[in-house]
Amino acid sequence: RKEVEQDPGPFNVPEGATVAFNCTYSNSASQSFFWYRQDCRKEPKLLMSVYSSGNEDGRFTAQLNRASQYISLLIRDSKLSDSATYLCVVNPTGTASKLTFGTGTRLQVTL
Amino acid sequence: GAGVSQTPSNKVTEKGKYVELRCDPISGHTALYWYRQSLGQGPEFLIYFQGTGAADDSGLPNDRFFAVRPEGSVSTLKIQRTERGDSAVYLCASSLTGLRVDTQYFGPGTRLTVL
Protein backbone atom coordinates (compact mmCIF):
# COMPACT_ATOMS: atom_id res chain seq x y z
CA ARG A 1 0.00 0.00 0.00
CA LYS A 2 1.35 3.46 -0.88
CA GLU A 3 2.03 5.79 2.03
CA VAL A 4 -0.10 8.54 0.48
CA GLU A 5 -2.85 7.74 -2.01
CA GLN A 6 -4.75 10.09 -4.29
CA ASP A 7 -7.09 9.73 -7.23
CA PRO A 8 -4.95 10.90 -10.17
CA GLY A 9 -7.98 12.32 -12.04
CA PRO A 10 -8.15 14.27 -14.23
CA PHE A 11 -11.03 16.22 -12.79
CA ASN A 12 -12.59 18.36 -15.51
CA VAL A 13 -14.86 21.06 -14.09
CA PRO A 14 -16.43 24.24 -15.48
CA GLU A 15 -15.42 27.63 -14.19
CA GLY A 16 -17.32 28.50 -11.04
CA ALA A 17 -17.78 24.91 -9.93
CA THR A 18 -16.87 23.50 -6.53
CA VAL A 19 -14.49 20.55 -6.57
CA ALA A 20 -13.13 18.36 -3.78
CA PHE A 21 -10.10 16.10 -3.62
CA ASN A 22 -9.42 13.44 -1.03
CA CYS A 23 -6.23 11.72 -0.03
CA THR A 24 -5.52 8.89 2.39
CA TYR A 25 -2.32 8.18 4.30
CA SER A 26 -1.12 4.95 5.87
CA ASN A 27 1.02 6.09 8.81
CA SER A 28 -1.37 6.79 11.67
CA ALA A 29 1.38 8.55 13.62
CA SER A 30 1.93 11.22 10.93
CA GLN A 31 1.95 14.72 12.34
CA SER A 32 2.09 17.28 9.54
CA PHE A 33 -0.03 17.54 6.43
CA PHE A 34 0.02 19.83 3.41
CA TRP A 35 -1.42 20.47 -0.01
CA TYR A 36 1.07 21.53 -2.68
CA ARG A 37 0.19 22.79 -6.13
CA GLN A 38 2.29 21.91 -9.18
CA ASP A 39 1.82 23.51 -12.57
CA CYS A 40 2.88 21.62 -15.68
CA ARG A 41 6.68 21.29 -15.84
CA LYS A 42 7.11 23.55 -12.80
CA GLU A 43 8.17 22.95 -9.23
CA PRO A 44 5.70 22.16 -6.42
CA LYS A 45 4.60 25.14 -4.32
CA LEU A 46 2.95 25.06 -0.93
CA LEU A 47 -0.77 25.78 -1.23
CA MET A 48 -1.68 25.34 2.40
CA SER A 49 -0.95 23.41 5.54
CA VAL A 50 -3.72 21.21 6.94
CA TYR A 51 -4.68 21.41 10.59
CA SER A 52 -6.86 19.13 12.70
CA SER A 53 -9.40 21.88 13.18
CA GLY A 54 -9.63 22.50 9.45
CA ASN A 55 -8.49 25.68 7.79
CA GLU A 56 -9.56 28.01 5.06
CA ASP A 57 -7.68 30.34 2.75
CA GLY A 58 -9.98 32.27 0.47
CA ARG A 59 -11.65 29.81 -1.88
CA PHE A 60 -9.65 26.88 -0.52
CA THR A 61 -10.59 24.76 2.49
CA ALA A 62 -8.50 21.91 3.85
CA GLN A 63 -9.62 19.33 6.38
CA LEU A 64 -7.97 16.50 8.23
CA ASN A 65 -9.71 13.40 9.58
CA ARG A 66 -7.20 11.59 11.78
CA ALA A 67 -9.56 8.74 12.67
CA SER A 68 -10.05 7.83 9.02
CA GLN A 69 -6.59 9.00 7.98
CA TYR A 70 -7.70 11.18 5.16
CA ILE A 71 -7.16 14.76 4.08
CA SER A 72 -9.40 16.79 1.84
CA LEU A 73 -9.13 19.94 -0.24
CA LEU A 74 -12.19 21.87 -1.36
CA ILE A 75 -11.97 24.54 -4.04
CA ARG A 76 -14.96 26.83 -4.42
CA ASP A 77 -15.75 29.03 -7.42
CA SER A 78 -13.06 27.39 -9.57
CA LYS A 79 -11.01 29.66 -11.83
CA LEU A 80 -9.19 28.77 -15.03
CA SER A 81 -5.98 29.56 -13.16
CA ASP A 82 -6.69 26.77 -10.67
CA SER A 83 -5.86 24.22 -13.36
CA ALA A 84 -2.87 22.31 -12.00
CA THR A 85 -1.90 19.12 -10.19
CA TYR A 86 -2.64 19.10 -6.47
CA LEU A 87 -0.24 17.05 -4.38
CA CYS A 88 -1.23 15.65 -1.01
CA VAL A 89 1.81 15.68 1.28
CA VAL A 90 2.48 14.06 4.64
CA ASN A 91 5.42 14.47 6.99
CA PRO A 92 5.87 11.14 8.79
CA THR A 93 6.52 11.45 12.49
CA GLY A 94 10.03 10.81 13.71
CA THR A 95 11.71 12.25 10.64
CA ALA A 96 12.62 15.89 10.74
CA SER A 97 11.27 17.27 7.53
CA LYS A 98 11.09 14.45 5.01
CA LEU A 99 7.97 14.92 2.92
CA THR A 100 6.03 12.04 1.43
CA PHE A 101 4.01 13.01 -1.64
CA GLY A 102 1.01 11.44 -3.24
CA THR A 103 0.96 11.03 -7.01
CA GLY A 104 -1.16 14.17 -7.37
CA THR A 105 -4.65 14.89 -8.64
CA ARG A 106 -4.90 16.75 -11.89
CA LEU A 107 -7.53 19.49 -12.14
CA GLN A 108 -8.60 21.08 -15.42
CA VAL A 109 -10.99 24.03 -15.17
CA THR A 110 -12.73 24.89 -18.43
CA LEU A 111 -14.87 27.76 -19.73
CA GLY B 1 14.45 37.68 -2.93
CA ALA B 2 16.08 34.91 -4.91
CA GLY B 3 14.55 31.48 -4.67
CA VAL B 4 16.17 28.07 -4.93
CA SER B 5 18.13 27.71 -8.14
CA GLN B 6 19.28 24.55 -9.86
CA THR B 7 21.70 23.96 -12.68
CA PRO B 8 21.63 22.71 -15.31
CA SER B 9 17.93 22.92 -16.12
CA ASN B 10 18.31 20.01 -18.53
CA LYS B 11 20.94 17.32 -18.76
CA VAL B 12 21.13 14.62 -21.40
CA THR B 13 23.72 11.92 -20.88
CA GLU B 14 24.52 8.42 -22.04
CA LYS B 15 24.09 5.29 -20.01
CA GLY B 16 27.14 4.66 -17.86
CA LYS B 17 28.25 8.29 -17.61
CA TYR B 18 28.72 10.36 -14.46
CA VAL B 19 26.60 13.47 -13.80
CA GLU B 20 26.55 16.26 -11.24
CA LEU B 21 23.49 18.34 -10.44
CA ARG B 22 23.84 21.57 -8.49
CA CYS B 23 21.48 23.29 -6.07
CA ASP B 24 21.73 26.81 -4.63
CA PRO B 25 19.33 27.13 -1.69
CA ILE B 26 17.69 30.30 -0.46
CA SER B 27 20.27 32.36 1.41
CA GLY B 28 20.22 31.63 5.14
CA HIS B 29 18.34 28.34 4.86
CA THR B 30 20.13 25.66 6.87
CA ALA B 31 18.11 22.70 5.62
CA LEU B 32 18.38 21.34 2.08
CA TYR B 33 16.57 18.43 0.47
CA TRP B 34 16.81 16.47 -2.74
CA TYR B 35 13.79 14.76 -4.30
CA ARG B 36 13.29 12.90 -7.54
CA GLN B 37 10.10 13.08 -9.60
CA SER B 38 9.34 10.54 -12.31
CA LEU B 39 6.64 11.13 -14.91
CA GLY B 40 3.16 10.89 -13.45
CA GLN B 41 4.42 10.52 -9.89
CA GLY B 42 4.85 12.81 -6.93
CA PRO B 43 8.33 13.80 -5.77
CA GLU B 44 10.20 11.09 -3.90
CA PHE B 45 12.58 11.98 -1.06
CA LEU B 46 16.27 11.24 -1.58
CA ILE B 47 18.36 13.02 1.07
CA TYR B 48 18.17 15.81 3.65
CA PHE B 49 21.04 18.02 4.84
CA GLN B 50 21.13 20.01 8.04
CA GLY B 51 24.07 22.33 7.58
CA THR B 52 26.96 20.39 6.08
CA GLY B 53 25.89 16.96 7.25
CA ALA B 54 23.47 14.50 5.71
CA ALA B 55 20.84 14.07 8.43
CA ASP B 56 18.82 11.51 6.49
CA ASP B 57 19.96 9.74 3.31
CA SER B 58 17.45 6.92 3.52
CA GLY B 59 15.92 7.78 0.15
CA LEU B 60 19.05 7.36 -1.95
CA PRO B 61 18.22 4.34 -4.15
CA ASN B 62 21.71 2.79 -4.22
CA ASP B 63 25.40 3.57 -3.85
CA ARG B 64 25.58 5.15 -7.31
CA PHE B 65 23.92 8.21 -5.78
CA PHE B 66 25.83 10.55 -3.52
CA ALA B 67 25.32 14.14 -2.39
CA VAL B 68 27.49 16.71 -0.66
CA ARG B 69 27.07 20.12 0.90
CA PRO B 70 30.61 21.01 1.98
CA GLU B 71 30.05 24.57 3.18
CA GLY B 72 26.45 24.29 4.30
CA SER B 73 25.07 26.19 1.32
CA VAL B 74 25.39 24.85 -2.24
CA SER B 75 24.77 21.13 -2.68
CA THR B 76 25.74 18.75 -5.46
CA LEU B 77 23.97 15.50 -6.24
CA LYS B 78 26.29 13.05 -7.97
CA ILE B 79 25.17 10.03 -9.95
CA GLN B 80 27.71 7.48 -11.12
CA ARG B 81 27.25 4.94 -13.93
CA THR B 82 23.88 6.40 -14.90
CA GLU B 83 21.10 4.06 -15.96
CA ARG B 84 18.03 4.74 -18.10
CA GLY B 85 15.90 4.34 -14.99
CA ASP B 86 17.61 7.38 -13.46
CA SER B 87 15.80 9.61 -15.96
CA ALA B 88 13.60 11.96 -13.95
CA VAL B 89 13.32 15.53 -12.71
CA TYR B 90 15.61 16.08 -9.74
CA LEU B 91 14.19 18.69 -7.39
CA CYS B 92 16.03 20.54 -4.68
CA ALA B 93 14.26 22.30 -1.80
CA SER B 94 15.40 24.35 1.16
CA SER B 95 13.83 25.44 4.42
CA LEU B 96 14.88 27.85 7.11
CA THR B 97 15.66 25.45 9.96
CA GLY B 98 14.61 21.93 9.01
CA LEU B 99 11.86 21.80 11.60
CA ARG B 100 8.79 19.85 10.56
CA VAL B 101 6.66 22.97 10.45
CA ASP B 102 9.00 24.82 8.12
CA THR B 103 7.87 25.41 4.55
CA GLN B 104 10.04 23.74 1.95
CA TYR B 105 10.69 25.90 -1.10
CA PHE B 106 11.45 24.02 -4.26
CA GLY B 107 13.74 24.90 -7.12
CA PRO B 108 12.71 24.48 -10.78
CA GLY B 109 14.46 21.12 -11.02
CA THR B 110 16.98 19.51 -13.33
CA ARG B 111 15.47 17.26 -15.99
CA LEU B 112 17.87 14.35 -16.42
CA THR B 113 17.58 12.13 -19.48
CA VAL B 114 19.75 9.05 -19.73
CA LEU B 115 19.91 7.64 -23.25
pLDDT, tens only, A16-37: 999 999 999 999 988 889 999 9
Q: Least CB-CB distance to A104: which of B42, B48, B99?
A: B42
SS3 A81: helix
Q: What is the mean pLDDT of residues A51-74?
A: 94
Q: Most B CBs within 10 Å: which of A2, A40, A43, as the mutation test of the B interface?
A: A43
CB contact under 8 Å between B45 and A87, yes or no, is: no
Q: What is the mean pLDDT of residues A76-101?
A: 88
Q: Least CB-CB distance to B108: which of A31, A43, A87?
A: A43
For residue B3, report the phi and psi dihedrals to the nearest 5 degrees.
-95, -165
Predicted local confidence at residue B99, as pLDDT = 78
Predicted local confidence at residue A96, as pLDDT = 60
In A8-47, the residues whose Cβ lies within 8 Å of chain B are: 8, 31-32, 42-46
Residue A68 has pLDDT above 90, yes or no: yes
What element of type H or E holds A5? strand A4-6
Three-state SS sequence of chain B: CCCCEEECCEEEECCCCCEEEEEECCCCCCEEEEEEECCCCCCEEEEEEECCEEEECCCCCCCCEEEECCCCCCEEEEECCCCHHHCEEEEEEEECCCCCCCCCEECCCEEEEEC
Residue A89 has pLDDT above 70, yes or no: yes
pLDDT band at A93 (very low <50, low <70, confident <90, very high): low
CB contact under 8 Å between A102 and B98, yes or no, is: no
Residue with the larger pLDDT of the pair A1 and B74: B74
Residue A94 has pLDDT above 80, yes or no: no
